[in-house]
Every structure is written in structure tokens, then in C-alpha cells.
A and B are shown apart, each in its own frame.
Chain A
Amino acid sequence: MIVCVKQVIDPEAPPASFKVDAAKNTVTLPPSISPVIDPYAEYAVEAALRIRDAQGGKITSISLGTNLLRDVVKKPLSMGADELILLEDESFSDGDSYSTAYALAMAIKKVGDYDLIFCGRQASDWDAGQVGLGIAEILGLPSVTLAQKVEVTDGKARVERVTDDGYEVISVALPAVITVSNELGEPRYPTIKGIMAAKKKEPVIWKPADIGATPAQVGASGRRTKLMKLFQPVREGKCEIVEGETPEEAAANLALKLREAKVV
């Protein structure tokens, strides 16, 4: 099994701390807030671990980017994954969904031996949700997205896929790509033992040439979309705080206020 895991700026950081650097077209956070592995990818790691718990297998985590912090990208190892591959090179930076999916697909091809490829339903930075399906398309594999439950039997995966009003059950032939949604349930915490084991494991590092790609095909040079503008919509921030001597009185005053404003 292969899991694709992205390092992102912490999506749980307070909204007020997100700033746009208009000159560079990037979003920044104060240095005090460290990057994390993408929360959606943690569900993907968890889905792979649950299958391994049930029937064994090996899990390889792949991350792509530049300035990958070892403590961050090793989290899948500390949760229980077996191996870590990093596509780490300056030329991988500033890619879009297309060039990222291309590089990951080439790396997965090099790994060669796999039954399932897991990705998060989307990454919490650009929220695109394209890379998993792009990998499937490039490798010519079937795919199921938005999984809330995955079970493997007889060379097939049975996947519950979240829909707008419930879920549907799909059976897919392996190998396949599955993107995982948060309905899967909370990912496990790394154990102390897992963290110690992860510390000892050295990641395998691949450059574009190692996966049979040229620098022109990956990262910013391989993009198909152009980012024209990044901005933050202006917030009006005109909340009227209703007060009272006690919480109960404030609550009653709020009800009166809403009645007055014809909101209720």
C-alpha cells in the first residue's frame, strides 16, 4: 500500500494569523506556527493502517515538496507506516495538481509493487482534490473517492463512498486509487514506540531524474494552471455583542433583539 501525504501550513491555525504575501502570491503564517502533515492525508494513513491491522501488508508513505521537515513528514512512520519516500528537490516546488500528480505517479511506478494507493480527499492548502484522481488516470487505475470505509477481500476493495445525502457502496478491482474523507473516523495517535521507531528510519530521497522525469515536467514548470491572484476577502466584522447582568439575562436580551430585528 502507498499513501500520499502532503506537508502543509497548519489549517487549524487561528484564521486571523493567515496572511497573504501579495508579491509572492503565497499564504504565510507566523514562524511560531509549524507546518503539519495534511489532516486529510492522516485519514488516508489511518485507512491503510486499518487494512494492515486486519490482514497485514506494507505501507509506504510518499511526500513531495521542498523544505520537508523530518519531524513532520515522519508522522505516518510514527503512526505505523513502514517506509518513507521523499520527492524532495527545488524543482518540485510550486507545482499544481497536474505536475504534482505526474511526479507522484512516476514515483509510484518506480515503487512498482502495490495494491492500493491512498490519498486524502483534498489537501487543506489549495483544497483542489485532484491529485489522487490524476495519479489514477496517469497510471491507468480505477479509483473511488471520498471513502468513509475500506475493506479488502479477494483482490477487490469494498468502499463506502460519502455522497451528498448518505453513502454508496462500490466494489473496485485492485490495484486502485482511493481518496479518503474525514467520515472514516479519527486517525490514531502515534505511540511512543512508533515515534522512537520513526526516528531511526531514514527516508529514501528521490530527485526528478530518479523517477524518470525532467525538471521541466515537475513543480512550477510542469503547471497547467496559472495562479493569477491570491487575496483575502475583506471581513466586515460588525458583531453586536448583547450583554446582561447574568448569562441568562444576556440570552433573553438576545432573543428580544432578534425579535426586534425580525430575525425570529
Chain B
Amino acid sequence: MAEYNGVMVFGEAKEGKLAVITTELLGCGRRLASELGQELSCLLVGSDVGGLAQEAISFGADKVYVVSDPLLKNYQTDTYVLVTEKVAKQGMPKVLLLGHTALGRDLAPRLAFRLGTALTTDCVELAIDPDSKSLLMTKPVYGGNAQASFASESLPQIATVRTKAMSPLERDDSRQGEIITIEAGLDPSSLRTEFLERVVAEVEGIRLEDAEVVVAGGRGIGSAEGFEQLEELAKILKGAVGASRPPCDNGWVPPGYQVGLTGKIIAPDLYIAVAISGASQHITGCSGAKTIVAINKDPESNIFREASFGVVGDWKKVLPAFTAKVKELLAD
């Protein structure tokens, strides 16, 4: 029987290119594969993904498995688990990495249970133990209030990795690799779910995850109208507006604004947190920011433990004055 060997990355496509998370996984996978002295492969699944194989090689893969089938056009649990199971059994990777995305969160646990192995989700750090050569997987737990490192003896060792936790390699189009095409071999009658439609939330202006400046509001903003003041500051700073969970749950802003553990993980240059108390579940989404600025009336609130600069005061008084001064400074 063949031995488990190497690192495999499950690749995702976005707008006809490799998703950023996939380039990050390839960067991390390359490092782990080198430490193991083994190869890095990438699995691409979809209806027409063969064109991305060279891109995966340019970002570090030695080998790319391509499974293209019209039935794989949209992500569905049943088809994607079957195909990934098939390739994992053929390629027999020792380590299998997926993004902690809507797709990875759904696919990875079922896959791990089906393969009879274990999984650690939402990892921010992966390392090979120098003695045992097994994978050490570190993830935030308790909403970010602590971190835990896990190991698993069953193979393959599967992990989903948080976005922006790893760095991609510099793209190198001269890299060579092997491309292997695998038949999906799906039986449409075995599908227990049906994909009906996809609804993409419309975003005006800069996308939250791409913005260099984010102005975010919390429960203390109190209303949808309050967020208009945040929009004004964001516009001046050419940034985007974000929120902690309560404003999203209360419908003051769309769900796509949510920054945090169950929302978006972002890493802007500047994050201005207005009336956000700074629960760990929220901080986990913005701690990658270069500079955090806090405006909060409670000097004891946790956000001041995370921020570099802060003002203690009622945002209704502080924010308009701050916005006016910033506008004045930027006009000079």
C-alpha cells in the first residue's frame, strides 16, 4: 500500500483567478512540504478550472490535480466531498489544507469524517513538529480569548486556514509542474441537494476586505442613521464601513458589513472602531490592522487594549469633530 506523502491544497477560484486564500495556502503548504522534504500539490475542482493549473504552479505547487465537470459548476456538499475524497485517496497527502471560507467550512468536516480522520478548523499557525514530523495546528478558541494547538495521529491531517493568516509566495511564471486530469465520475441521481441560485450582495464603493481604511461601528451607534456618519468619514478617507455583530443582527447595516469571527477577517492599514466594546469575537476580525483607533465612552472597554490611539468620549460628540478635522487636514 502506498504511503501518505506530501501536502495538498484545495484550491478555490474567484472571478476566473485563484482565490487569494489559495495563494496563501500554497505559500504555507510550500513551507510545510519543504520541511517534510516532500511535494506540494493543488486540487482544482469546478466546471472549467484547468486554466488555473499553471497559476497554482506559479504560486508554488509541484503538481496540480484538475477535476472539471459541469456538475461541479456550483459548490454542493455531496459532489465536492465525493470528488475530494477520490483525489485524496489517489494522491494520499499527509497534510490537506483548505481555506476557512464558506466552502472550506462546509467541505472539510464532512470530508474528514468520511476519510475517517480528524480536522482542525480556522488555523492561524501550522508547523511541523521536528521530532514526530506531525502537523501542529494552532487556532483561536473561545471567540479569540485563547489559542489552542492540536495534533492528530490519523492521516491525512486536515486543517482549514483563516484568511490573511499566511503569506503567498511571489508569483513565478517560470516554475514548472505536472498537471493531472481526473474524471469526476459523478452520478447526477445521487445528488441530494439542488443549487437554486446565488445572490451576491451589491457593494457600493470599495469592498470591505480590500479597503485600506475601515471605519467600523458597534452596538453603541444605535441606529441605521448613526451609520451614515461613519459612511461620511469612510468616504473622506477613501475607505469602507464595517460593523461588529450587533448592528448587523439589528439590521442597521447589511450582514456583509460584519467584521469578526463569523464575519470578515480584514487587515487594513487603519481601523477606526467607533462605539465598539471590543469583544474577542470582533477583535479576531480586525487584529491584523496596522493601526487601530478607538472612540468609546467607556475607558475600561476592551477595545482600548487593542488600539494604538483612542479617545474616551461619546461618539456623537467625538466623531463629527474628528471627521471635520480630518477633512480640514486632508484638504491642506
In chain B, positions 125-156 with a C-beta closer than 8 Å to chain A are: 136, 139-143, 145-154
Chain A interface, number of residues (Cβ within 8 angstroms): 88
Taking the complex as formed, is A161 at the interface, i.e. its CB lies under 8 A from any CB of chain B? yes
Q: What are the interface flags for B64-107 relative to A under an 8 Å C-beta threshold, 1 for contact and 0 otherwise?
A: 00000000001011100000000000000000000001100110
Return the contact of B102 from the options A20, A143, A161, A232 (Cβ within 8 A): A161
When the two chains form their complex, are residues B293 and A258 in contact, meaning their CB atoms are under 8 A apart? yes
Task: Of the listed stretches B1-9, B34-42, B168-176, B314-322, name the one at the interface; the rest are far from the partner chain.
Answer: B314-322
**Distance in angstroms between the alpha carbons of A133 and B194 in the assembled complex:** 18
Q: Does B112 contact A (CB under 8 A)?
A: yes
Are B154 and A241 in contact, with the CB atoms below 8 A? no
In the complex, identify which listed stretch (A48-56, A69-77, A192-200, A219-227) lies at the interface while the others stay far away. A219-227
Bound complex: CA of A161 vs CA of B153, how far in Å? 33
Q: Is A121 an interface residue (CB 8 A)?
A: yes
Given A137-B114, A164-B101, A239-B305, A247 and B313 contact (CB-CB distance below 8 Å): yes
* A91: Cβ under 8 A from any B Cβ: no
**A133 closest partner in B (C-beta):** B109
In the bound assembly, the distance between CA atoms of A132 and B106 in angstroms comes to 10
Bound complex: CA of A134 vs CA of B121, how far in Å?
13
Does the CB pair A231–B309 fall under 8 Å?
no
Which of A96, A128, A148, A257 touches B309 (beta carbons < 8 Å)?
A: A257
Kindly state whether residue A228 has any CB partner on chain B within 8 Å: yes
Q: Mark B286-320, 1 if CB is under 8 A from A, else 0.
A: 00000101110001001011111111111001111
Does A127 lie within 8 Å of B147, measured CB to CB? no
Contact B199–A169 (Cβ < 8 Å): yes
CB <8 Å contact, A172 and B193: yes
Q: Min CB distance, A104 to chain B, in Å?
A: 13
Instruction: Name the one of B119, B154, B201 contacting A97, with C-beta atoms under 8 angstroms.
Output: B119
Would A241 and B304 count as touching, CB distance under 8 A?
yes
Q: Check B279–A12 contact: CB distance below 8 A.
A: yes
Q: Give the CA-CA distance A183 to B109 in the complex, in Å.
A: 22
Of A81-89, A107-115, A206-214, A248-256, the stretch lying at the interface with chain B is: A248-256
A217 on the B face (CB < 8 A): no
**B321–A247 CB distance below 8 A:** yes
**Quick one: given A224-B117, A247-B313, A252-B325, are A232 and B145 in contact (CB under 8 Å)?**
yes
User: A11 vs B318: C-alpha distance in the bound complex, in angstroms?
Assistant: 30
Is A173 an interface residue, CB under 8 A from the partner?
A: yes
Question: Are A241 and B302 touching (Cβ within 8 A)?
Answer: no
Interface of B is mostly: mixed
* Interface residue B22 (Cβ < 8 Å from any Cβ of A): no
User: Which residues from A are CB-within-8-Å of B312?
Assistant: 241, 250
Encode A16-45 as 1/0 by CB contact (under 8 A) with B: 101010000001000000000000000000
User: Which residues from A are CB-within-8-Å of B154?
Assistant: 224
- A143 vs B106: C-alpha distance in the bound complex, in angstroms? 9
Q: How far is the CB of A248 from chain B (nearest CB, A)?
A: 4
**At the interface, yes or no: A204 with Cβ under 8 Å from chain B?**
no
Q: Is the Cβ of A98 less than 8 Å from the Cβ of B121?
A: no
List the A side residues contacting B283 at CB < 8 Å.
15
Inter-chain contact A27/B193, CB cutoff 8 Å = no
Q: By the criterion CB–CB under 8 Å, are A247 and B318 in contact?
A: yes
Q: Which residues of B contact A261 (CB under 8 A)?
A: 291, 309
Task: Write out the residue numbers on chain B whose beta carbons fall within 8 Å of the beta carbon of A237.
Answer: 305
CA distance in complex: A124, B284 (Å): 13
Q: Which residues of A contact B141 (CB under 8 A)?
A: 27, 125-127, 230
Please pick, from B198, B299, B309, B313, the residue contacting A163 in the complex, using a CB distance under 8 A.
Answer: B198
Most buried by A among B120, B140, B269: B120
* Cβ A182 vs Cβ B143 within 8 A: no
Query: What residues on B are CB-neighbors of A142 within 8 Å?
Result: 77-78, 192-193
A199 CB to nearest B CB, Å = 29
Judged by a CB distance under 8 angstroms, whether A154 is at the interface is no
B102 touches A251 (CB 8 A): no
Is B220 positioned at the interface, with any CB of A under 8 Å from its CB?
Answer: no
B290 to chain A, nearest CB (A): 8
Known contacts: A97-B119, A169-B199, A170-B196. The answer to whether A250 contacts B311 by CB under 8 A is: yes
Given contacts A164-B101, A224-B154, A225-B118, contact A264 B311 (CB under 8 A): no
Whether A124 touches B325, Cβ cut-off 8 Å, given contacts A172-B193, A240-B310, A263-B291, is: no
**CA gap between A15 and B197 in the complex, in Å:** 40
Taken together as a complex, chains A and B put the C-alpha atoms of A228 and B129 apart, in Å, by 12
Instruction: Judge if B230 is at the interface, Cβ distance under 8 Å.
Output: no
Which of B147, B153, B264 interacts with A230 by CB under 8 Å? B147
Q: Report the nearest B residue to A171, measured CB to CB.
A: B194
Q: Pull 28 A–B residue pairs with CB atoms less than 8 Å apart, ordered by A.
A: A11-B143, A97-B119, A127-B122, A127-B142, A127-B261, A134-B109, A142-B78, A143-B77, A145-B105, A163-B198, A165-B256, A168-B74, A168-B195, A170-B195, A186-B250, A224-B153, A224-B154, A225-B152, A227-B148, A231-B147, A233-B147, A239-B306, A241-B299, A243-B311, A248-B317, A251-B313, A254-B293, A255-B325
Q: Which 10 A-B pairs have the closest CB atoms?
A: A255-B325, A251-B321, A142-B192, A224-B118, A137-B113, A133-B109, A247-B317, A248-B321, A247-B313, A251-B322
Sample of 7 further A-B pairs with CB below 8 A, known A230-B146, A242-B309 = A97-B118, A144-B77, A166-B256, A173-B193, A239-B306, A263-B269, A264-B330
